[in-house]
A = this chain, B = another copy of it.
Amino acid sequence: MRSKVVSSFAEAVSGIEDGSSILVAGFGEPGTPHNLIGALYEQGARDLTLIANGAGGPRGDGVTTTGDLVAAKRVRRVLLAFTASTHPSRQTELERLHEAGGIEAQITPQGTLAERIRAGGAGIPAFYTPAGVGTEVAEGKEQRTFGGRSYLLEEAITAGYALLRCWKADTFGNLVFRRAQRNFNPIMATAADCTIVEAEEVVEAGALDPDVIHTPGIFVERVVSIPQAGGRLRVLPLMPASASARSS
């Protein structure tokens, strides 16, 4: 069987064509494949569709985000739970492009987004969910009653590629995530034709306990070791202005 391990981020994202749809994992910093996003930025593919929780603005610290891809006008369409910053006073490049008509931006409730991706990875073409009933999100969607309650019909999402980040991967592509790293990663792995993973550590097949593997290797096409490929290992999350953080 061919090895799934590739030696560079460039090799990991090779072949991603113009016009591709790409699932990008991560929620805040944990589980975000910054090194693969950076390699995709270098690789040059255009006219992309990005499906993710949000598209962060450029960070300005050398870490490339999907916001950088948007700002470079490489993205034709986004499907996100956040198309605007959570701080309304700060406007992102995505918002400016969206308002100017330079990008198609679709917004969806986060749980619906997650379940649509899970459905795509589970061969379920469509399902009903209560989120969004009675709101703008319901416009144009089939509404149906089960047990006296209203639900919206939502369709599955699949994509050509998924970019993931994990804690440990084995050479067969079995993946383990650490803590909040997990988020969208396991479901996105199932919904893409080609799932590409940056791993903080790559071990031999058989080294991971089968009971602790979160994503079976059968869902994974390419694995790259962050340290061996010379990538950025730690990206710290943003600190809050909260009581305990201040008190330290």
A residues near B (Cβ < 8 Å) are 115, 119, 122-130, 146-147, 149, 151, 155, 176-179, 182, 210-212
Contacts and interface: CB of A to CB of B under 8 A. Distances in A.
Top-4 shortest CB links A-B:
A125-B146, A127-B127, A212-B212, A124-B127
Contacts of A179: 210-211
Contacts of A176: 211
A115 B118 CA distance: 12
A149 B125 contact: yes
Contact of A125 (B115, B151, B210): B151
Contacts of A127: 119, 124, 126-128
A70 B60 CA distance: 67
A131 to B, nearest CB: 9
Assembly stoichiometry (copies): 2
B119 A130 contact: no
Given A146-B155, A155-B146, A211 B124 contact: no
A215 to B, nearest CB: 13
A182 to B, nearest CB: 8
Contacts of A146: 125-126, 155
B177 A211 contact: yes
A134 to B, nearest CB: 17
Nearest to A111: B123
A211 B211 CA distance: 11
Contact of A147 (B124, B125, B149): B125
A245 B22 CA distance: 47
A146 B129 CA distance: 18
A19 B211 CA distance: 36
A131 B214 CA distance: 26
24 contacts: A115-B122, A115-B124, A119-B127, A123-B129, A123-B130, A124-B127, A125-B128, A125-B146, A125-B147, A125-B149, A125-B151, A126-B127, A126-B128, A126-B146, A126-B151, A127-B127, A146-B155, A176-B211, A177-B211, A179-B210, A179-B211, A182-B211, A211-B212, A212-B212
